[in-house]
Structure 1
Amino acid sequence: MNSTGRTALAATLAALLLAAAGCSTKADDSGKDTGSDGVRTGPGVTAGKIRLGALTDLTGPYATLGKSIVQAQQMWADETNKKGGICGRKVEIVVKDHGYDVQKAVASYTEISPDVLALPQVIGSPVVSALLDDVDRDHMLTFPQAWAADLLGQDSVQVLGTTYDLDMVRAVDFLTRAQGIRKGDRIGHVYFEGDYGANALEGSTWAAKKAGLTVVGQKIKATDTDLSAQVTALRKAGVKAVLISAGPSQTASLAGVAASRGLKVPIVTSAPGYAPQLLKTPAAPALTGMLHIVSAAPPVSSDLPAVRKMVASYQKKYPGELVDAGTLSGYNAAELMGRDLKAACAAKDLTREGLVKAHRSQKQVDNGLGTPEDFSDAARPAGLAVYVTKPDKKATGGSVLVEDARVLPAVKEYLAAREK
């Protein structure tokens, strides 16, 4: 073949390659691609798959919570894929266990972040706080299983429901309205060091001052599982009730020791502080007699149709497994992420930036799994309404409704003061 023929053949081959490329994807200057379906894609998205990430705790203080969330989100992914997936793509969730260790979590994020679109699960306020800069840089839509107010204000991070401080405002209101706590009384607050406890303490301190109460604080570490010293201090201080912002094992220790030492007072925790597995421990009588839980999510035993459907599906998929608050929380987060993915698909933009934009465009979202949420303002909690529940061995999920979700005027007042 002469040089003219070789040149012509090379030109023909180049044209064919370009044509083939045009039939599949076309990269723009930003490194993003546009598929044959006209949808822009980026990390974590291929022609047939959407990969999501989960940074969870399967071996640390929130191992029971982590397991429930992981299984619930996998159930959502399986249900979604059975219906054809999202945007013509199957959903895959990549799970990494950090054991509530911040350094392990950071390493896990570094490992999976190049290959996932978003994070529908990250357990732990300290973990999320350590990842905020990376998540913001990567435009990685992230749903923490953590509710510290310090996590607000980032477009890519969505705290679902209320924050810890709002829960404690509701808790103090419940104590004064329904548990006989009066002006001039002292109430204890046992709390984890770090964002979780500090934010909860902000809410209890503000609400207590408004009600004429005094808060006696007891700061603990996540590794503290014997709260005998704290109970002794609170009993000596003459507290009439105790708030606790910690993990399930700490709540069990607090209730069990308090009951055994004659400090039989109302105890209120937020959702991360209770697990139905505690009702199989020696602390069960103290918990059922003294504990209430405040949460933006309804109890798993709720009569809400969407909750009942989720529970039935979970029990069928994971027979013999306990259904708990983590199950509902995890499924709710995954379902909301699914709505965002569908909105991004409709906008023909499954890039990370496109997904964040789709999420922030959603207002008054009501999926039947709790109270409506507004995602349009990253600086404000998505929800303001809080339920009150209590432990119950006979109930699905180990808790029953005491008071339906309500938005307190005090919560709005507190937010206004916080935002000044």
Structure 2
Amino acid sequence: MNRKHLRVTAAVGISLALALTGCSTKGDSSSGSGDSGGVKTGPGVTDTTIKVGVITDLTGAAAPLGKPSMQAAKMYIDEVNAAGGVCDRKVELVVRDHGYDVQKAVAAYAEVQPQVAALGQLLGSGQTAALLDSIERDKLLTLVGGNSGSNLGHEYVQVMNTTYDLDMINGVDWLVKTTGLKAGDKVGLINQPGEFGENAAEGARFAAKKAGLELVAQTVKPTATDMTPQVTALAGKKVKAIVFAGTPGQTASLVGVAAASGLKVPVLAQAAAYVPQLLATPAKPALEQMLYITGGLPALSSDLPGVKKLVADYQKKYPKEQLNAGIQVGTTNGAVLIEALKAACAAKDLSREGIAKGLHTIKNFDKGLGGVLDFSDPAKSPNRKSYVLRPAENVPGGLKAVQDATEVPAVAEYEATKG
């Protein structure tokens, strides 16, 4: 079942092909299709390596998440390769920085695609929109750096956690239950156009309708840095809360301007709208008082064993780097692709199609990083539970938990409307 294409936007994340020690049969030494020793191979697979593409942002607007994602994944890959690699092969990354520019991403794909067995990450809304047809044509499993519901239903394009609409449904339900909102109250909705913002807005509209809330909608361009016009419009309507899907810089402006103007209401933002660097801005007091984050990943300050280990390992490897959710995305996505490679190896099929089939055999992925992920049906979100977090100083990742992972009944009702 395919959904209409809206495409992917600012959110972030990175993923990579990693290790498997349980399969020892080697493929041939060519980079094209082949069969050696009973193992089918394809582009990017030789008798010594498996090449994985990463087309991400290391220098542009999403670099604060892209860089730590890359570093966390590289750290994981190094450990895996030291332990023997995947099917007796080392994993080799083919990385390109698109600087969050669509044309650079298209050029990078044309260069990288013939060399790799999968794309561990493709980051960006316009980038995914421009490349989706090519990915499907090339049968190149691609783990996208954004979780829009519009990307569900594609065999070779995989979202990696709760979709934006489900996060908003879970988050708005929490907002209603904990902040005193009642039927008839006005709530502001601010979102960017495009896949990220529109998918989040779709979930917010569904949840608001179910709760009897009146939404006051505003849009914001991805390049906008001053949220004064949107805040002024919402203040004029006397909204009692705001839901938001935009960039971290916009979050700081939104919350800071709202507080300064006297609109001190709860602001519920999608996870991609926050990085801990915001706590170093003048908006810090307002963020700590007003902002809440909804998403499928736990806080890095969580007591989950896998999260605690990841934080410790990353801080040891990169002691000067600030922690954020990018390291969870990179590690989780890399580990998922490991399981896909394990399944492909066991089936003696390391072709592109075999790796994609391997991914869809994974039904209960759980590495202690938060949430159990199910990739068996490309048409469904791999996770339906969302955390609610809030900014906090002097804790890993700059967030602490307000509500553990929760799926509210409205999620099932919403999914039923999607057929």
Same structural fold, with TM-score higher than 0.5 when normalized by the shorter chain: yes
Q: Distance in 1 between matches of 2:152 and 2:59?
A: 27
> RMSD in angstroms over aligned alpha carbons?
1.6
Alpha-carbon deviation of 1:26? Answer: 9.0
Q: What amino acid is the match of 2:188?
A: G
Q: Deviations over 1:92-128 (max 9, x none)?
A: 1222111222222111111100001111211123322
1:264 maps to what in 2?
264
1:32 maps to what in 2?
33
Q: Distance in 2 between matches of 1:25 and 1:182?
A: 64
Q: What amino acid is the match of 1:303?
A: D
1:282 equivalenced with 2:282 (yes/no):
yes
- How many residues matched? 394
1:9 maps to what in 2?
none
**8 Å Cα contact 1:105-1:127 kept in structure 2:** yes
Alpha-carbon deviation of 1:31? Answer: 5.5
Alpha-carbon deviation of 1:349? Answer: 1.0
1:375 equivalenced with 2:363 (yes/no):
no
Alpha-carbon deviation of 1:35? Answer: 2.9
1:304 equivalenced with 2:304 (yes/no):
yes
Q: Distance in 1 between matches of 2:345 and 2:266?
A: 49
| TM-score w.r.t. length of structure 2 | 0.91
Q: Deviations over 1:329-378 (max 9, x none)?
A: 11111111111112211211111000001111111221221111111111
1:361 maps to what in 2?
361
Q: Deviations over 1:3-49 (max 9, x none)?
A: xxxxxxxxxxxxxxxxxxxx98498xx9511234x322111111111
Q: Distance in 1 between matches of 2:60 and 2:166?
A: 26
Give structure 1 stretches of 5+ with no counterpart: 1-22
Q: Which has the higher contact order (CA 8 A, sep 6+)?
A: 2
In the TM superposition, 1:248-259 aligns within 5 A as 248-259=248-259
2:395 maps to what in 1?
395
Alpha-carbon deviation of 1:147? Answer: 1.1
Give structure 2 stretches of 5+ with no counterpart: 1-25
**8 Å Cα contact 1:169-1:410 kept in structure 2:** yes
1:166 maps to what in 2?
166
Flag the structure with higher helix content: 1
Q: Distance in 1 between matches of 2:114 and 2:229?
A: 46
2:116 maps to what in 1?
116
1:16 maps to what in 2?
none
Q: Distance in 1 between matches of 2:403 and 2:329?
A: 19
Q: What amino acid is the match of 1:47?
A: D
Structure 1's consecutive aligned runs of 4 or more residues displaced over 4 angstroms after TM superposition are none
Please identify the structure whose Cα radius of gyration is greater: 1
Q: Distance in 1 between matches of 2:95 and 2:249?
A: 24
2:328 maps to what in 1?
328
Identity percentage of aligned residues: 50
In the TM superposition, 1:6-21 aligns within 5 A as none
1:7 maps to what in 2?
none
**8 Å Cα contact 1:360-1:377 kept in structure 2:** yes
| TM-score w.r.t. length of structure 1 | 0.91
1:347 maps to what in 2?
347
Alpha-carbon deviation of 1:268? Answer: 0.9
1:146 maps to what in 2?
146
Q: Distance in 2 between matches of 1:50 and 1:62?
A: 27
**8 Å Cα contact 1:226-1:253 kept in structure 2:** yes
1:415 maps to what in 2?
415
Q: Distance in 2 between matches of 1:99 and 1:236?
A: 38
Q: Distance in 2 between matches of 1:44 and 1:278?
A: 40
Q: Distance in 1 between matches of 2:54 and 2:115?
A: 12
